[in-house]
């Protein structure tokens, strides 16, 4: 695909028409513990359906409809599509929308299971299957010959993309491409004016190799919301301090410092084998004048809600218990992918 000049990568807080989910079941990576995580998806689905249309990839229509009715979701705003998946982390294999000359285009990047760590054949076909089912109407899809996950980039809607070198430069993604080559491709594909790279901050238990949506996110008004660790005994302390320094050194396109909103650091969470899990409040979802924030049954959950409210004045802020989600090393934002309203006009 040869790209033309007039296209833009919207910010997540711009008007949304729908949000995608992929429902967990026993044949996904959740396997026998799918029932444990299903209540989290019910809460996420109900919260989204109050603010946008909801499109869900499902294995069993009847079962999911039953769960949605129990959840209190607005089922009149829900579309179910029979689409088989490997994983429920649709943020990383779902379509990324750009606006080209005033019209939406869905970008379908290659997905290789976060560097060939996990099966991904079904996930890699999901966008095409959604499109074939008519879910996106006549919106064009461009297939991009680059391995890229949606959680690895964040846009301010005005030409700046934030990402991490640990993920995008990892040889398990695009080994033949240099930093300059990847940066140029991102600029051309998304119509970006610049790419801001973070060199520090990867979390223990994060098998994405450092997705930016676990670390730092843009907010309206030239702001950045980011995770900060104040516990000097925690192994993340120095890395996150270095990341904070990087963020504070960044400047807006007009040359001003960003407004900075630090998020609290939850206490360490572990699986049954004693492996640390990547609990992070930065994995929030921005909806139409609302923000859904992951909660971890932690003493800092309330502080995280308050920090998000400061960064998003005038938005409804709702916490959702996501402790079961991190058993598979992801959280709330990872389970979703927003589709701008222009796709559904």
Q: How confident is the model at residue 6 (pLDDT cuts 50, 70, 90)?
A: confident
For the stretch 84-99, what's the b/e string if a residue is b when 16 or more beta carbons lie within 10 angstroms of its beta carbon? Answer: bbbbbbbbbbbbbbbb
H/E run at residue 339? strand 337-340
Handedness of CA 187, 171, 142, 332 (dihedral sign): negative
Q: How confident is the model at residue 2 (pLDDT cuts 50, 70, 90)?
A: very low
Instruction: State the residue range of the domain holding 234.
Output: 7-344
β-bridge mates for residue 142, sequence order: 107
Number of domains in the chain: 1
The pLDDT value given to residue 307? 98
Q: Where are the alpha helices (DSSP H) in 111-236?
A: 113-116, 121-132, 165-168, 179-190
CATH of the domain at 68: 3.75.10.10
Q: What is the DSSP string of 98-133?
A: EEETTEEEEEEEE--HHHHTS--HHHHHHHHHHHHT
pLDDT for 18-74, tens place per residue?
Answer: 999 999 999 999 999 999 999 999 999 999 999 999 999 999 999 999 999 999 999
User: How far, in whole angstroms, is CA 225 from its chain's centroid?
Assistant: 14
For the stretch 148-176, what's the b/e string if a residue is b when 16 or more beta carbons lie within 10 angstroms of its beta carbon? Answer: bbbbbbbbbeeebbbbbebbbbbeebbee
**Dist. CA 127–CA 90, nearest whole Å:** 10
pLDDT for 258-299, tens place per residue?
Answer: 999 999 999 999 999 999 999 999 999 999 999 999 999 999
pLDDT for 156-186, tens place per residue?
Answer: 999 999 999 999 999 999 999 999 999 999 9
Edge-to-edge strands of the sheet including 316-321? 285-287, 290-295, 316-321
Is residue 126 a part of any domain in this protein?
Answer: yes
pLDDT for 86-130, tens place per residue?
Answer: 999 999 999 999 999 999 999 999 999 999 999 999 999 999 999
Handedness of CA 27, 31, 35, 39 (dihedral sign): negative
**Dist. CA 188–CA 306, nearest whole Å:** 37
- In this predicted structure, the answer to whether residue 3 has a pLDDT above a threshold of 90 is no
**Dist. CA 57–CA 27, nearest whole Å:** 13
More confident residue, 279 or 345: 279
Is residue 136 a part of any domain in this protein?
Answer: yes
> What mean pLDDT is reported for the chain?
96
Q: How confident is the model at residue 7 (pLDDT cuts 50, 70, 90)?
A: confident
The pLDDT value given to residue 345? 63
Alpha carbon dihedral 71, 75, 79, 84, in 10-degree steps, equals: 30
Q: What are 76's two structure tokens?
A: 């009149």
Percent of the chain topping pLDDT 90: 97
**∠ CA(35), CA(92), CA(64), 5° rounding?**
30
The pLDDT value given to residue 4? 44
Is residue 177 a part of any domain in this protein?
Answer: yes
Residue with tokens 């992801």: 330
Instruction: Map residue 165 onto helix, strand or coil.
Output: helix
- Rg of the chain over CA atoms, in angstroms? 19
Is residue 1 a part of any domain in this protein?
Answer: no
- In this predicted structure, the answer to whether residue 326 has a pLDDT above a threshold of 70 is yes
The pLDDT value given to residue 24? 97
For the stretch 189-205, what's the b/e string if a residue is b when 16 or more beta carbons lie within 10 angstroms of its beta carbon? Answer: bbbbeebbbbebbbbeb
- Provide φ and ψ at 127, rounded to 5°: -60, -45
**Dist. CA 46–CA 127, nearest whole Å:** 23
Is residue 339 a part of any domain in this protein?
Answer: yes
The pLDDT value given to residue 5? 58
**Dist. CA 8–CA 99, nearest whole Å:** 5
β-bridge mates for residue 57, sequence order: 22, 81
Is residue 22 a part of any domain in this protein?
Answer: yes
């Amino acid at each position: 695909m040869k790209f033309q000049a007039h296209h833009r990568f919207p910010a997540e807080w711009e008007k949304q028409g729908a949000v995608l989910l992929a429902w967990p079941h026993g044949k996904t990576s959740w396997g026998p513990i799918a029932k444990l995580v299903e209540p989290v998806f019910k809460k996420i689905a109900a919260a989204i359906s109050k603010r946008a249309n909801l499109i869900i990839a499902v294995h069993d229509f009847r079962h999911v409809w039953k769960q949605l009715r129990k959840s209190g979701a607005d089922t009149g705003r829900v579309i179910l599509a029979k689409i088989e998946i490997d994983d429920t982390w649709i943020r990383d294999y779902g379509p990324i929308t750009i606006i080209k000359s005033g019209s939406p285009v869905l970008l379908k990047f290659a997905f290789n299971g976060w560097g060939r760590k996990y099966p991904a054949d079904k996930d890699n076909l999901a966008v095409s299957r959604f499109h074939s089912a008519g879910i996106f109407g006549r919106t064009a899809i461009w297939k991009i010959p680059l391995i890229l996950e949606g959680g690895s980039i964040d846009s301010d809607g005005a030409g700046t993309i934030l990402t991490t070198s640990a993920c995008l430069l990892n040889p398990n993604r695009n080994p033949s491409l240099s930093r300059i080559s990847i940066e140029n491709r991102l600029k051309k594909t998304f119509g970006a004016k610049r790419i801001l790279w973070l060199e520090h901050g990867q979390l223990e238990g994060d098998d994405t190799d450092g997705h930016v949506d676990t670390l730092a996110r843009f907010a309206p008004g030239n702001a950045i919301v980011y995770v900060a660790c104040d516990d000097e005994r925690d192994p993340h302390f120095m890395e996150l301090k270095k990341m904070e320094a990087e963020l504070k050194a960044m400047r807006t396109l007009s040359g001003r410092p960003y407004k900075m909103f630090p998020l609290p650091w939850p206490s360490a969470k572990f699986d049954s084998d004693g492996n640390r899990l990547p609990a992070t409040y930065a994995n929030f979802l921005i909806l139409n004048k609302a923000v859904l924030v992951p909660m971890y049954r932690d003493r800092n959950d309330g502080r995280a809600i308050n920090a998000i409210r400061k960064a998003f004045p005038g938005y409804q802020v709702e916490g959702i218990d996501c402790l079961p989600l991190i058993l598979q090393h992801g959280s709330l934002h990872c389970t979703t992918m927003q589709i701008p309203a222009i796709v559904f006009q």
